[in-house]
Structure 1
Amino acid sequence: MPASMRPDFYQTKIAPRLAPLRQHLRRPTRRTVLLAAAAVPALFLLYVVVLIPFTPGISELRKAKSEQPAQVLSADGKELAVYRWANRDWVRLSEISPNVVDALIATEDHRFYDHHGLDWRRTASAAVHTFSGDRQGGSTITQQLARNRYPDEIGRAPTMTRKLKEAITAFKLEALYSKEEILETYLNTVPFLYNAFGIEMAARTYFDKSARKLDVLEAATLIGMLKGNSYYNPVLNPQRALERRNIVLGQMVKRGKLDAARFEALRKRPLRIDFERQVEEPGPAAHFAQQLRKWLISWADSNDYNLYTDGLVVRTTIDSRLQAAANQAVARQGNQLQSIANAAWAPRAGWGESRALVQSFVRETPEFRNAVAAGQPEDEVLQHLMRDNAFMQALRQTKTRVQAGFMALDPATGEIRAWVGSRDFSVDAFDHVAQARRQPGSTFKPFVYGAAFARGTSPDETFVDQPVEMQLAGGEVWRPTDESPASGRAMSLRDGLVYSRNTITAQLVQSVGPERVARLARAMGVRDSKLEEVPSLALGTSPVTLREMVSAYGTIANGGQYIAPSMLTRIEDRQGNVLAQFRPASAQRALSPTANETLLDVMRDVVDRGTGTAIRSRYGIRADVAGKTGTTQDNADGWFILMHPQLVAGAWVGFNDSRVTLRSDYWGQGAHSALPIVGDFYQRAIRARVVDGRARFAEVDRKTWYSGLTETVRGWYGKLFASKPAEEPASAPRPAPRRPVLPTTEAEALPPASSPSALGDNSLALDPGEVVEAVVDDGASAPGAEVPASEAVAPASAPAAL
């Protein structure tokens, strides 16, 4: 056993040393008592010193003094968005009614101008009441500001540590801020429920006026809420709010801020709340700003900036004039299509006729799921909800609301010029440009033809317009069809794309191979969505985003070179110093110049005499443009993308739920749903001269280093051996490349009557329709027509869930 553990060791060594200490404790001297008394505050002071590093630093407090949210600007300097951490509008103390300041100081901290962050008398009084069982708060306005502004650093728990951190931070605030700055900051940051932060938003929310115009009753009501927002909520608890308001008025009388006689008259008046939730303005490019915010938050964190307080100025690629044109075009067409949808899905029309579908909608609602989870029988819940008129009306409005997406970019730089993610951001914040994945229909066909042209295939090569059958893995047979029956005649590839014939495209993809088509589509810009490498890919069965498709068409407009879309040009600090500069991404060759020029020329014909002739005949656009329409099965999705040398723009129209359609073979087609948005947009852009209507796509320079020598030799040869003089001088200009004659009337836009792809009586030359698997392009099958299950391709590509 060790010596230290033996009984005699304690008696002989330790006990004698402890004896004097015991004697002092039993009969302490004056010196011992003084030392013990001094140790308590010394330890307390030491604890306070230890806590100081765990409170907000001086630099952080100084930042709050000049807090400024990031501002997002367009390329031409117009404000697009402001990134605030809360829904508030900062106002100066001079812009706040004196009634508010008087009520606040009288009620919350009447010695505010006398202390330096901590009111010792109030703190002591609160401590006495708390120890006696009547818990009271003793925080000053400065302490409340510290707690509200820095909840993470200070905490909310009712502990001594939290109160000490709060007091330390209050002392720091008093050292850095003037009393007026403390009041201004406090009144601009305190919460008032309903996502209203600060006195200005509170005044608008509860009284529909600015903070400058608040009278004494209104000021007392709002200040009264500070004791407990929910408990004294004037909307839900008006009686409590009234009683609390009168207490505040009484405190104002007590502190000399209100005349007693006036108080007696005021206390009898009702609240008179004029409540309206304050919704933050989404701005002209709300979906673009939301997409940008996600990236900027990460950038700011990585570079030690705060997006909401450091006053960053973010300069984007958006052109405010084009954005305004896009907003107007989407709103106009969206409203027109909505009136059609309302009629098609009226309670006694499509909604009443689609009982099974409507029941599916009901079963998918939270109300149905919650009721079933609570133990109610499914059939009873279903019947109850189906009889609830208000519920069913709201469900019908939600499901049958027409949605749209639009995007435009500069093909030479990849810079995004306009972005509209939905018809109304406040109603539907879901982004149909970058988030929604929908089947693109025939807008995907240019990748098939581009892959063929890249292999040297001529657009004049012909295929017979005849029924097509393809044996698939697993023994299934794919039979793509068109709205009009096959003619049995030869048709060129040019006309196959111009009139969007499925039978021609299906034969072409069989020749080219879906793998090569998918590879080209990815190279040109469809890089985020999964592409099923099956034959039906040629007809647009793999869901993609509008941003990907517009980017890919930008590659065509840029001579076959892909440039990744960009949103920013630079980021500056509040003094205008450039923090980051962003240049367009480097171009990547996706399609050879020759093949790309051929594809572009064929797509010109789509607008000049094919499915997109409304661009010429209805919108009068005479510029050098090319494009493609697209429509999917049952008109669930309408697409149109148009290319101009300076701008590429595309639109998608449909419903969030792809089971809902416009129920119209006419309005559901891309040429009638999406094309008007793009046509309206370009018409406005050209008229405003934001886009040059005379610009033309660049021609491929086919000259080589020996071209000049060859032409010289040919000239000499012609002069020496010509049998007769040349009819025109050698210096005569070469004829211009072939350009299709632009139609001047709707009749000229139609194909000849003898053409195997004649469009009948369709005055706007719409796509003749495609039926394949779950896809129809630019037209619908005859009413009641369905594609047999045996003709479907496997695996089926279902629309992306929204």
Structure 2
Amino acid sequence: MVQLEKGKYGRLIKVTWIFFSAALALFLFYAYAVSINFMGLFGALPDLKFLENPKNDLASELYSADGVLMGKYFTSNRSPVEYEQISPNVINALLATEDARFEKHSGIDFKGTFAIAWSVLTLDPRGSSTITQQLAKNLFNTRGKDYRGSLGGVPGLNMLIIKTKEWIMAIKLEKNYTKKEIIKMYLNTVPFGSNAYGISTAAKTFFGKKASDLTTEEAALLVGIVKGTSYYSPIYHPNRALERRNVVLGQMVKYGYLSSDKYSELKTKPIDMTKYAVENHNKGSAPYFREVIRGFLYKWAKARGIDLDTEGLKIYTTIDSKMQKYAEESVTENMKDQQKKFFAHWKGRNPWITEDYKEIPGYVEREAKKTGRFKQLKKQYEDNEAAIWKEMNQPVKMKVFSWNGEKDTTLSPMDSIRYYKHFLHTGFMSMDPNTGHVKAWVGGIDFKHFKYDHVMQGKRQPGSSFKPIVYATAIDNGYHPCQEVLDAPVTFASDIGGEPWTPNNSDGPPSYERMTLRRAMGRSINTISAKLMQEFGPNRVVDYAKRLGIKSPLEPVPSLCLGTSPVSVYELLGAYSTFVNGGIWTKPMFITRIENRYGEVIESFPPTTVEALSEETAYLMVHMLQGALQEEGGTAQGLFRYKMARTNEIGGKTGTTQNYSDGWFVGVTQDLVTGVWVGGDDMSIHFRSMSLGQGGRMALPAWGIYMDKVASDPNLGLKNSKFRRPKNLPVSLNCDDYNTVAPSDSTQQQYVAPSTVSTDEGIL
């Protein structure tokens, strides 16, 4: 009987071993078949080369010249950090919650794998996948279509194949990387929700801090979110997030990373989301600047076969983060004040008016037809105008911009257009004339609500701020700042039957006073600018403008002497910088170098320069620009309200166009040239009086506020308070030493315009 039982059990053991051996052999064959993608059934695995250099999508980052992160270009917002830059609290919370046996296994924790059912029954939050397996899934997208074979569509079997691939990749990862490297890669790739990929971005998004500074409870919250980024979102489901955070803290106690007393203290702390901010293209420093150079960067990247949004490039710009901050603050302060005046000025009336100050009929309707909303409705309703306008006048909930913060309101699309057309806009740029480096760029009043850039993209008539180019033409062709010219009428007649044009001065008819060129430019005398245009001709002035970097089309007509052809702030600053830089035009530049994700420089950007003027002519023009402050009646004397103007050598020029549609000011020092434009969305939207609408009132204050801030910063104080003078200036700047030779005593000059030119402009 005993022998019978022994034989029976022996056969059972033998059968069991045979079955186990066969199952093991079958499993090994299956694993091998998956690893080689046998007959294309299972889908490919990443090759060893890819494994040795795993590449996940990284946001390309834009840095200021002083190393401050300004913004990113991304599909997935991910920025990598080193292991040492991650708080130990994060690593402890991760190990306790996701993989307590991480240091003991080699990629696969079979104890954890076979304990799935027990984990579910006991509510143990530890998953069955190891951190290494999860990393494999994150790095190689093992569940994506790219790695799916012909058996991938079979329910149940597909998941088994996926898990097998993750096991295989986990083992390979463990062979190629240290435990610290695996932890680092995992935390740099895992999604946390709110468009935050990786621990660095998550720390900034949820708590406004670096990954190295995360506290225990903050680390527990972020690790808890990983289980379900939407379900456990502290923004949308704070109670769930709090409960999940405390579960993670409990795991940390269980595995010895946290004391019970500390747990008791932390579990009662509320979740603090006061610094929560999702990174997007509307936020961060210099959003207009970032958006403008986005086009350049995408074009540059495309030409080199690079994906800007995923390549993890580091783009180093010329922007100084402190100067940018001061510029944004100054623009805000000035534009709040200007807008307050504008609202009061137009109280009870709409500001879109004709030249005789009457409201433009049908203006809002015409503007509405340009909107995306109208074009969408036109496709939807085809030619049913009544239905389109009914929708355009239907009130809807929306957020609108105001200088007191974004407001929730209910407006129809038509009312929204009316509301936004009441706002003034601005463009502000500051650059180092010696290097061409752009230091600050503010393209408008609020990037979220007004995307249009008024520094490079927008072009408006510069008015009198164009006059220095006219004067530079004269100075470079024999005139001297001390040369006296008569403030007398100058008439431009057309040979095509048009009306002759005789420009007046902004303050009325000519004075018939004889004055130096320096005083004439300082006081912005229109007749003398017209006299110089008459002598040298529009084509000569256009030629000098091009030398000085003006790329916009300039109409070669007499009225160009008063700035009738639109230009950008960007162009005009390049021209003024030439005067300060000894006659060398340097293209305003905004990028110095681009590095790949490994820190290797893949392109540097040297300055582009052209010798536009002689050093002597350039310095004489700087001397001329100083006349706006130093000459009696100078248009920039309002700057003396600001401390910086009383302690440094400064030059500048105001600009005001017809009907006060555009206000400009460009100011120069040896180290900074800064330009400001202020105006309405259209030229028909403007102040109605010189006392409010001139460049010295609208634009100049922003320059003064900004320069006071820059000059008072001990790290940014102007290095050279005086302009750099040529060593051997061949002429004296003292008008007492200059033998005045008046060009002409005639009080009425005639100029016949080319037959193809219209001369019906009359600009103040």
Q: Quick check: 1:509 aligned with 2:509?
A: no
What does residue 664 of structure 2 align with? 639
Sort the Cα spacing of 1:174 and 1:360 in 2 relative to 1 into closer, same or farther, 3 A.
farther
Sort the Cα spacing of 1:39 and 1:225 in 2 relative to 1 into closer, same or farther, 3 A.
closer
SS in 1 for 2:564: coil
Sort the Cα spacing of 1:214 and 1:676 in 2 relative to 1 into closer, same or farther, 3 A.
same
SS in 2 for 1:666: helix
Q: Mapping of 1:723-742 within 5 angstroms?
A: 737-738=733-734
Q: Mapping of 1:96-135 within 5 angstroms?
A: 96=90, 101-105=95-99, 116-117=106-107
Q: Distance in 1 between matches of 2:94 and 2:168?
A: 27
Q: Distance in 2 between matches of 1:624 and 1:82?
A: 35
Equivalent in 411, 433, 448 of residue 391 of structure 1: 411
What does residue 563 of structure 2 align with? 540
Equivalent in 47, 63, 77 of residue 72 of structure 1: 63
Deviates more, 1:535-544 or 1:340-349: 340-349
What does residue 668 of structure 1 align with? 693
Q: 2:433–2:670: 8 Å Cα contact kept in structure 1?
A: yes
- Of structures 1 and 2, the larger Rg is shown by 1
Give a deviation string over 1:653-697, Cα, whole Å, max 9, x none.
234555433555323211112212223334444555423324453
Give a deviation string over 1:523-571, Cα, whole Å, max 9, x none.
11213x2323333333222222212111101112233332223345667
Give a deviation string over 1:17-53, Cα, whole Å, max 9, x none.
xxxxxxxxxxxxxxxxxxx999998876543799456
Structure 2 runs not aligned, ≥5 long: 1-25, 117-126, 153-160, 258-263, 354-358, 399-408, 738-746, 748-757
Q: Distance in 2 between matches of 1:559 and 1:180?
A: 56
Amino acid at match of 2:726: A
Q: 2:655–2:694: 8 Å Cα contact kept in structure 1?
A: yes
What does residue 472 of structure 2 align with? 450
Give a deviation string over 1:92-126, Cα, whole Å, max 9, x none.
26232855654445xxxx98777655678999999
Amino acid at match of 1:225: G
Q: Mapping of 1:483-562 within 5 angstroms?
A: 483-487=506-510, 489=512, 494=517, 495-527=519-551, 529-562=552-585
SS in 2 for 1:96: helix
What does residue 425 of structure 2 align with? 403
Q: Distance in 2 between matches of 1:333 and 1:637?
A: 15
Q: Distance in 1 between matches of 2:69 and 2:207?
A: 28
Sort the Cα spacing of 1:572 and 1:372 in 2 relative to 1 into closer, same or farther, 3 A.
closer
Q: Mapping of 1:77-476 within 5 angstroms?
A: 77=66, 79=68, 81=70, 83=72, 85=74, 86=77, 92=86, 94-96=88-90, 101-105=95-99, 116-117=106-107, 141-150=131-140, 155=145, 159=149, 163=162, 169-179=169-179, 181-198=181-198, 212-214=215-217, 222-226=225-229, 229=230, 278-280=277-279, 287-288=288-289, 317-318=318-319, 322-344=323-345, 350=351, 356-375=362-381, 377-385=387-395, 390-391=410-411, 395=417, 398-423=420-445, 430-457=452-479, 460=483, 462=485, 465-466=488-489, 468-471=491-494, 475=498
* 1:737 Cα deviation from its structure 2 partner: 3.3
Q: Distance in 2 between matches of 1:201 and 1:38?
A: 41
Sort the Cα spacing of 1:149 and 1:537 in 2 relative to 1 into closer, same or farther, 3 A.
farther
SS in 2 for 1:521: helix
Sort the Cα spacing of 1:327 and 1:379 in 2 relative to 1 into closer, same or farther, 3 A.
closer
Equivalent in 611, 614, 620 of residue 589 of structure 1: 611
Identity of aligned residues (%): 31
* 1:630 Cα deviation from its structure 2 partner: 0.7
Sort the Cα spacing of 1:396 and 1:654 in 2 relative to 1 into closer, same or farther, 3 A.
same
Sort the Cα spacing of 1:56 and 1:480 in 2 relative to 1 into closer, same or farther, 3 A.
farther
Q: Distance in 1 between matches of 2:392 and 2:313?
A: 52
Q: 2:136–2:166: 8 Å Cα contact kept in structure 1?
A: yes
What does residue 750 of structure 1 align with? none
Amino acid at match of 2:336: N
Q: Mapping of 1:644-793 within 5 angstroms?
A: 644-662=669-687, 665-686=690-711, 688=714, 689-698=717-726, 701-702=729-730, 737-738=733-734, 792=760
* 1:380 Cα deviation from its structure 2 partner: 1.9
* 1:333 Cα deviation from its structure 2 partner: 1.9
Sort the Cα spacing of 1:187 and 1:37 in 2 relative to 1 into closer, same or farther, 3 A.
closer
* 1:348 Cα deviation from its structure 2 partner: 6.6
Q: 1:99–1:219: 8 Å Cα contact kept in structure 2?
A: no
Q: Distance in 1 between matches of 2:242 and 2:72?
A: 38
* 1:330 Cα deviation from its structure 2 partner: 2.7
SS in 2 for 1:621: helix
When the two chains are superposed, the root-mean-square deviation of aligned CA atoms in Å is 5.6
Q: 1:411–1:555: 8 Å Cα contact kept in structure 2?
A: yes
Q: Distance in 1 between matches of 2:397 and 2:320?
A: 49
What does residue 743 of structure 2 align with? none
* 1:178 Cα deviation from its structure 2 partner: 4.3
* 1:433 Cα deviation from its structure 2 partner: 2.5
Q: 1:605–1:740: 8 Å Cα contact kept in structure 2?
A: no
* 1:332 Cα deviation from its structure 2 partner: 2.7
Sort the Cα spacing of 1:502 and 1:215 in 2 relative to 1 into closer, same or farther, 3 A.
closer
Q: TM-score, normalised by structure 2?
A: 0.67
What does residue 621 of structure 1 align with? 646
Q: Distance in 2 between matches of 1:645 and 1:46?
A: 68
Structure 1 runs not aligned, ≥5 long: 1-35, 127-136, 259-264, 704-735, 742-755, 757-789, 797-802
What does residue 47 of structure 1 align with? 37
Q: Distance in 2 between matches of 1:118 and 1:656?
A: 63
Q: Distance in 2 between matches of 1:447 and 1:682?
A: 24
Q: Distance in 1 between matches of 2:243 and 2:570?
A: 54
SS in 2 for 1:337: helix
* 1:59 Cα deviation from its structure 2 partner: 4.2
Q: Distance in 2 between matches of 1:242 and 1:615?
A: 55
Q: 1:70–1:307: 8 Å Cα contact kept in structure 2?
A: no
Sort the Cα spacing of 1:572 and 1:242 in 2 relative to 1 into closer, same or farther, 3 A.
closer
SS in 1 for 2:277: coil
Count of residues in Structure 1 that have an aligned counterpart in Structure 2: 652
Sort the Cα spacing of 1:350 and 1:793 in 2 relative to 1 into closer, same or farther, 3 A.
closer
* 1:446 Cα deviation from its structure 2 partner: 1.7
Amino acid at match of 1:278: A
Give a deviation string over 1:167-212, Cα, whole Å, max 9, x none.
6654443333445654454344333443233457557767999864
What does residue 17 of structure 2 align with? none
Q: 2:428–2:442: 8 Å Cα contact kept in structure 1?
A: yes
Sort the Cα spacing of 1:272 and 1:677 in 2 relative to 1 into closer, same or farther, 3 A.
closer
Q: Distance in 2 between matches of 1:124 and 1:387?
A: 54
